[in-house]
Amino acid sequence: MPPAPAPKHPRVKKFTVAGCELCEAAPVGVLWQDSFCRVVAVGDADYPGTCRVILDRHAGEMTDLTPAERSRLMKVVFATESALRVVARPDKINLASLGNAVPHLHWHVIPRYFDDRHFPRSIWAQPVRSPRRHRAPDRRALARKLKALLGDA
């Protein structure tokens, strides 16, 4: 019997790409999720409270989504911003969708403080000081706030 033909492309199931860190990520730190995206708490000691909003399927750019999907994803990003403003009381919020290393749509929602390691620079810049560590916001409080803003998944 001849060997099975090699797969034509590396997709292991619809919209999922083998080897993509976010397609294959274990569900750790999930604060809220539905069938479209998830909000994950990132355990960054310098940036307590930082969340990522991760699209479930593999897509690289916001304009690869339909306008309705873009709105749906941004609604979750802005709910995450709202929850962080209430629970973590930061001095500023930073929002970014970069995806250079992992081109699978994900939004960074980052609480910033005037005395954090990089302020007023971006968190990806050279640090400007030793950070005064802020207490990590309570993940259960963030999850409750997201549920209140977005409903049950």
Q: What is the binding site for its own copies (CB under 8 A)?
A: 60-63, 67, 70-71, 74-75, 78, 81-82, 85, 92-101, 103, 112, 119-122, 124-126
In whole angstroms, give the CA distance from residue 150 to residue 153. 8
C-beta of 36 vs 78, nearer to its own copies: 78
Q: How far is the CB of 6 from its own copies (least distance, A)?
A: 27
The helix or strand, by DSSP H or E, that contains position 11, with its residue range, turns out to be strand 11-13
In whole angstroms, give the CA distance from residue 62 to residue 67. 9
Q: How far is the CB of 145 from its own copies (least distance, A)?
A: 12
The answer for residues whose C-beta is within 8 angstroms of residue 67's C-beta and 6 or more apart is none
C-beta of 41 vs 113, nearer to its own copies: 113
Q: How far is the CB of 57 from its own copies (least distance, A)?
A: 18
Residue found by looking up tokens 């397609």 in the block: 23
128: helix, coil or strand? coil
Q: How far is the CB of 91 from its own copies (least distance, A)?
A: 9
C-beta of 121 vs 133, nearer to its own copies: 121
C-beta of 40 vs 105, nearer to its own copies: 105
Cβ proximity of 51 and 70 under 8 Å: no
In whole angstroms, give the CA distance from residue 153 to residue 151. 6
